Chain A
Amino acid sequence: MAAQTQIDTGGILRPQGQLEAAPLDPYRGALDERRAAHLLRRTGFGASQADIAKYTGMAAGRAVESLVRFPSTASLPAPENVYSPLAVLQQYGPRGFKDLPLAERRAIQKGIREQELASTVSLQLWWLNRMLATPAPLQERMAFYFHGHFTSTAVQKGVSPALIFAQNQLFRANALGNLRELTRAVSKDPAMLVYLDNASNVAEHPNENFARELMELFTLGVGHYTENDVRESARAWTGWEFDRYTQTAVFNPRRHDDGVKTFLGQTGNFTGDDIVNIIFAQPQCARFFAASLLGTFVYNDPEPRLVDEVAALLRNNDFELAPVVSAILRSNVFYSERAYRALVKSPVEFVVGTYKTLGLPQFDTTILAQLRQMGQVLFYPPNVAGWPGGANWLTSDMMIARQNFLETSVNSQNLAASSWLGSLPMKPKTATQTIVASILQGDASPASLAKLDALISGSGTSALAAFGPENYGQRVSGAAYLAMAAPAFQLN
């Protein structure tokens, strides 16, 4: 049966109103506090009060320049003990392992699996803490984007933590590099070869899984190729294998179909690299990535005119991302009211943003169960199409998980660890204003401000003691919770 795949676009909403005349022209003004925070939320999972202050008043061009030029991240810790089954596999070798008694084989496999799961957990925590601590947040934001775009899933199908980490490093190294080069590299990445079965795609029995997703989900979108293109591309990709006993990708010319293929209207003795080149020569490929980048950084379901303008930028820059992402982040449309809070924070953006906002230093493992309840587990996208985003993040059980995470984040013990929330002046009005400015950039109504003020000053429903050291933790954590539980804080 021909698999006519498609993904849904349900729950993805475009802001109301008209696209301006010159959306990609550079924004001329200096960044005010709201726009500075907007830029930092979109490019780096939110920001501390100090970061927002640093970017406020800066020209957009200079602000973006400082984000796209990644400073050294050498001081950040590497993940510890990323597990690879290599040592165990090499100890026995292919034949020795098969000769073991079944019970022993199963015990070894069970041991490998347990270590893989434990290692994946520490890798998840490592990445979250790196997002929080990195001096190059846009690099992590792009790695996170690519993780949801060129998806692979850990542990399943034998994708070890070491392989998923190598893929993660590939995304990081190419964060603002060349899209065509990254597509070529990720096609031969061991985790991808295994996850989408390209490793079992051989001349005698082509497997079309990767060839299909390469076009449908990674580069062109459904409707821009034929089933015959899928078959011919699969033939071109034959020969790539995953050697379990070295845990590497290898090209085996004997399993490669070196016959003539006809792909997207061209005929030749194509290899996988040729397939990528032909795809990137299609005008649709630039449009596909343009829509994807706009949906990540500006707003969902961007207008075709805007997509075409960014697609032209991609083609003119030979798919180099740095100049294109810079242009998007400097543009009028990026700083327009229509783009402002026009996206829904993903759970990862939400939790990292909360910690950055509060100035909390580090996640512990409890965050992983909380993220799971919110619907997002790093290295486990729901399927090869990645996380759908938009209104798909908005269900009451995910919301309960978000709010309960906020409650644990502002509890009094964490307040002491917060760089600013633990040391507000004992003046209710000043404390309220600082909380609303730092957390919501003032995006609260006068009525909400009055509620927070009443909560902090103790002038609410019944007469309570005045704001002071003995009730500081309870009042401030309550107010910070309410500010972050406000609808504005769910939006990016």
Chain B
Amino acid sequence: MKRSNFVLGTVSGFALVANTSHIFARALAQSPVQGLPGGNDRVLVLLNLQGGNDGLNTVVPHGNQRYYQLRPGLAIEPNAVLRIDDQIGFNPALKSFKAMYDKGEVALVQGVGYPNPDLSHFRSTEIWQTAAPDRYLHSGWLGRYIDEAKLPANNLFNGVAISQLVPEALSSPGVDVPAIASLGSYGLSINKNDGTRNAYSQMLRDRTVPFSSPYLARVMEIEDHAQRGSQELPKLIAGYQTKASYPASALGRSLSLAAQIVGSNLGTRVIYVEHGSFDTHVGQRATHDRLLEEFSNAISAFYDDLAAHGNDKRVLTVTFSEFGRRAAENGSKGTDHGEASPLFMIGGGVKGGVYGDNPVIGQEAFGNVKYTIDFRSVYATVLERWLNRPSQSILAGNFSTIPVLG
């Protein structure tokens, strides 16, 4: 097929050019998404590959000689690569994920990043979560979505974070998302004590306190959420039958819980899951391959489970990582913090294929990969095409969408 490019749009004077050699015909045919359930049933799963995933050993540029020059000890051998075409292919640890790709269930978006990359884990994670490279925000892009979409305020589970702490991505003043690391650890310890629990719930509903405070109503509301949420969730999801065999990894457990929440129809629209650490400075191959294999097996079990309940088309999973890694391996058989990397959009009836240009490895000694697609274009796509919300106010700007979902 002839390589053709089309301009996705302009962000801050930076033209976004997508390599569409793989998907051009289908991208042109975009129209209102067919065959998908109504917008209110759709769920977004945001999967954080935390630590800075090495994009070049995830989607391997096996046709790129410079990749092999810069990675004498780390490159994936050309004949081991699970080929997509004569330029790129998947890491062999992604075997079951490649099978999903072959079935058209995976959109691979190349070269995602943002201007003036910050190589601190902390700040770059914050940038991805707040969608604000130039500002310090305390609210996240999906927190602002939950707020602006006015999801039912009486639903405690509009968003769920399957993590120790609520990530900034799902935070916003006035938005309350529970963090559920596991069902066993979620909740108030006094829930075990019936007498105290009953007195507690009555006390916090007692609104006749002898003072006023601008924050009093919110404190009462949140105390109520804290108590009810942890009591109700186990009951609400108890009826779900898991119909896939998940790997015995943390991510497998997290995605199993995610499928259970989706299948229990709690009205949940956003679920956050994390996997890592991908911060592979030393002895990368073994660690990275294991993390990719865990990802691959967990995500394919997740979609098997979803499909067995007829939920696969209503769950879109989007991965992200705070940055990619440099092309040149370091002296410890690892890689250091880099810039752009690919991300995946999975399920949800995506139009499978490759979006964006294959990575160009910079000419500097360490070989950084520059971004070609602004991460906020991915967010705009999710907000507008999946969650049916205008993205401009949430992202504080106009970002073109990518024709992944039609």
Contact = CB atoms under 8 A, between A and B. Distances in A.
A444 B209 contact: yes
A315 interface: no
B219 A491 contact: yes
Contacts of B164: 373
B223 A485 contact: yes
B126 A383 contact: yes
Contact of A394 (B120, B134, B138, B222): B222
B173 A391 contact: yes
A234 interface: no
A395 B216 contact: no
A153 to B, nearest CB: 8
Contact of A10 (B173, B209, B219): B173
B216 A487 contact: yes
A488 B212 CA distance: 10
A5 interface: yes
A425 interface: no
Given A7-B136, A10-B173, A443-B209, A394 B193 contact: no
A4 interface: yes
Contacts, number: 193
B300 interface: no
Given A383-B136, A407-B189, A488 B204 contact: no
Given A372-B165, A447-B208, A482-B199, A4 B134 contact: yes
**B interface bracket (residues with beta carbon within 8 Å of A):** 35 or more
A342 B210 contact: no
B196 A375 contact: no
B177 A400 contact: no
A120 to B, nearest CB: 14
Interface in B182-225: 186-190, 193, 195-196, 198-200, 202-204, 206, 208-216, 218-220, 222-223, 225
B203 to A, nearest CB: 5
A84 to B, nearest CB: 22
Given A7-B136, A13-B215, A392-B173, A403 B188 contact: yes
**A interface bracket (residues with beta carbon within 8 Å of B):** 35 or more
B199 A397 contact: no
B172 interface: yes
A15 B172 contact: no
A407 B189 CA distance: 7
Contacts of B230: 400
Contact of B332 (A13, A106, A394, A461): A106
Contacts of A407: 188-190
A442 interface: yes
A461 B198 contact: yes
B27 interface: no
A390 B213 CA distance: 12
A390 B173 contact: yes
A1 B374 CA distance: 14
B226 A16 contact: no
A103 B208 contact: no
Contacts of B120: 156-157
Given A8-B173, A10-B138, A485-B190, 15 more contacts: A1-B115, A1-B116, A7-B135, A14-B214, A300-B214, A337-B211, A340-B211, A394-B215, A394-B222, A396-B225, A396-B229, A445-B208, A478-B193, A485-B204, A486-B204
